[in-house]
A and B are shown apart, each in its own frame.
Chain A
Amino acid sequence: MISLKESKRSALVSLWFMFLTFPIMVIKVDAIEKTVIWRWDNMFYVGFGSFILSIFGRIFFERQKHRRERKLAEKINKHNLIQIVLREPKYLYPLATAFFLFAVTFPHLFSTYQINVMTTALMYVVLGLGLNIVVGVAGLLDLGYVAFYAVGAYSYALLNFHFGMTFWMVLPLGALLAALFGVLLGFPVLRLRGDYLAIVTLAFGEIIRLVMENWNAFSQGPSGISNIPRPGLFGFDLTLDQAITYLYYLMILMVLITIFVVNRLQNSRLGRAWVALREDEIACQAMGIDKTKTKLTAFALGATWAGLVGVIFAAKTTFINPASFTFLESAIILAIVVLGGMGSILGVIIGAIILILLPEYLRALSDYRMLAFGAIMVSMMVFRPQGIISNVRRHYQYRPQKGEQE
């Protein structure tokens, strides 16, 4: 399986690693005794470890290559298992029902802590689906998505603080305000693409956060706004536990609505225009698509979801301050979209649940959390750049008589 040449290469790799790690792994200065301790055994471990890893890596890549070649040779046009399940109502409906039942009974089976964690995960599902419109479908790399989230959260906090407006009044208002900010960001970046767009959106996200942090008179600065009321339920008084459960169901409803709307948007005239814009801007314009309008709607609709979740976030934590809206937040939402699969709704949902729940349940290993996070992202990009579930274009059926679509 491994030729002599390959093992020679691995040996070279391990030598190189031993050399690289020599200063930190082998030499240790004992400051008290003022002597140098030579830890040669560490060098051996490094060498051995890197040799083994390199060999395994080589075997793995070799296999991958073989598999790819075989696939090409056979020219299989079959989709993978997930896609088959998604296509067939026979499998899809029972699965969806099972998931739905699980989601509904969840609060009765688990503790308040678990419900809280799940609510957070659901919030990120909606955020991911919202960003998916901008990044996955329309191909506009937006690194400042958290800004719209902040707009939603602050609009609830401030409108409630100053005017005593309730959750249900602000929810649509927050969404509208976020959409407005989406258009506001959209205008200056209409001409930008790729890296340049990413930089400007990144800056936009920071601007919103810095304004909130420094404009004390407006947003109470870094100390934030507290005592934000939880969402009301027709005037009933809810205990804390009940309120948390209520919020959980609200989020479930929200996720369902989001999936419904995003799915319809993707399979519409507008959704097609977004994808076309992602694929080729010039051809897209030459075919009569208004670039300005299409881009702005993508930004606005993406921002709308962030605004909605922002309002819910403020109501859930009852306290917000600018520290909740850092770049890391944008990065996580973007990671959800990329990891899950750009443009794929199911992929984004799975991505959000993995990325939010895993760190939560791996709290025991919290020291290595970011390390694991990074490792997962890198290996994803190497082995499955299209994401967990890649997007498959919809097939249209044409029947000459009725012209019905499937």
Chain B
Amino acid sequence: MSEPILQVKNLGMRFGGIKALDELDLDVNSGEIVALIGPNGAGKTTFFNCVTGIYNPTQGDVTLSPPESPVIRLNGLKPNQVAEKGMARTFQNIRLFQKMTVLENVMIGRHCRTHSFIFGAILRNKSTRLEEQETIEKSYQILQKMGLEKQANDLASNLSYGAQRRLEIGRALATEPFLLLLDEPAAGMNPQETQELIKLINRLQQEGQSILLIEHDMKLVMELSHRIFVMDYGRRIAMGTPEEIRNNPMVIKAYLGESADA
């Protein structure tokens, strides 16, 4: 594993007097699956929001080093710029475009990789047509990968819960990210759906996709991740391989409280 592609240094986020994130360090290497865990309210989603530009962090640095291009500082960029630089995310509470079809949802993900605008849309010249065609093709391929191609023309709101989660991942993949952020992808899934999700994430990793995920499902985390970061009260309390984390007394304390007999 070479240079980290995402490097977060000393990240802090304050909401008034509350320190939601406090001097947090984190890094993701290329091709790696990294998990971020922690009890409820530890600041994991705030961390995602800071990294993807939805919040502007009050302190610290977030830098992205895409393969074969210079380092990009992400602080202060807008969410759409972050997506353009190559980092896409999913949301904890599913945020699909409910009244659009499944295929269209993925096509939206292609937006930042395509360029046609008003005149292209009206004149529908050759380059626009080719672009549209490519958008449809690529989106369809992503749907096939997610196992959703049969529902391509259904409304997103008509999908089952697990399928909606997969569609969200597909939509994020359509932006061609080199780092994929998944916010609790297994939340609300039944064991079988979780098993399928594990397979899916594994397959993505084998294709070279780097992934940073937040998850509460310990089975998924332990099975998938190469490294785990543990947060509590906005601070990083531990970092290491799944085995190290499993036996870390700090982590056990954060999750189970003081009497760490288990």
Contacts and interface: CB of A to CB of B under 8 A. Distances in A.
B108 A286 contact: no
Interface stretch (B16-24, B26-34, B92-100, B240-248): B92-100
Interface centre among A265, A286, A297 (most CB of B within 10 A): A286
Given A283-B97, A398-B140, A404-B133, A297 B112 contact: no
Nearest to B155: A393
B114 interface: yes
A405 B100 CA distance: 17
A245 to B, nearest CB: 29
A336 B125 CA distance: 32
Sorting the interface of chain A by its residue count into under 10, 10 to 19, 20 to 34 or 35 or more gives 20 to 34
A275 B111 CA distance: 13
Contacts of A398: 136-137, 140, 152
Given A272-B100, A287-B171, A404-B133, 15 more contacts: A264-B124, A269-B117, A269-B120, A269-B131, A269-B135, A272-B107, A272-B111, A282-B79, A286-B80, A286-B83, A286-B88, A286-B95, A297-B118, A393-B101, A398-B137
B71 interface: no
Interface string B153-186: 1010000000000000001101100000000000
A58 interface: no
Interface string A265-305: 10011111101100110111111111100000100010000
B232 interface: no
Nearest to B153: A395
A396 B152 contact: yes
A282 B121 contact: no
B215 interface: no
Contacts of B112: 287-289
A338 B112 CA distance: 31
21 contacts: A269-B131, A270-B121, A271-B121, A275-B99, A275-B104, A276-B97, A279-B99, A283-B95, A287-B171, A288-B80, A288-B84, A288-B175, A297-B117, A301-B118, A393-B104, A396-B101, A396-B103, A396-B153, A398-B136, A403-B134, A403-B137
Given A283-B91, A283-B95, A289 B108 contact: yes
Contacts of A279: 96-100
Contact of A290 (B80, B116, B133): B80
A130 to B, nearest CB: 14
Q: How large is the interface on B (under 10, 10 to 19, 20 to 34, 35 or more residues)?
A: 35 or more
Given A283-B95, A283-B97, A289-B111, A269 B78 contact: no
A280 B97 contact: yes
Contacts of B155: 393
B116 A268 contact: yes
Given A265-B122, A269-B135, A405-B132, A288 B111 contact: yes
Contacts of B52: 286
A270 B171 contact: no
B109 interface: yes
Interface in A177-228: none
Contacts of A396: 101, 103-104, 136, 152-153
B54 A286 contact: yes
A273 B152 contact: no
A287 B118 contact: no
A270 B95 CA distance: 20
Nearest to B116: A269
Contacts of A395: 101, 153
A297 B122 CA distance: 14
B227 interface: no
A284 B113 CA distance: 14
Interface of A: 261, 264-265, 268-273, 275-276, 279-280, 282-291, 297, 301, 393-396, 398, 403-405
Contact of A268 (B78, B101, B103, B120): B120
B111 A273 contact: yes
Contacts of B124: 264, 268
Nearest to B121: A268
Contact of A264 (B100, B109, B121, B153): B121
A279 B114 CA distance: 21
B115 to A, nearest CB: 8
B236 interface: no
Given A288-B84, A398-B140, A272 B108 contact: yes
Contacts of A261: 122
Nearest to B123: A264
Contacts of A393: 99-101, 104, 153, 155
A6 B155 CA distance: 39
Nearest to A285: B79
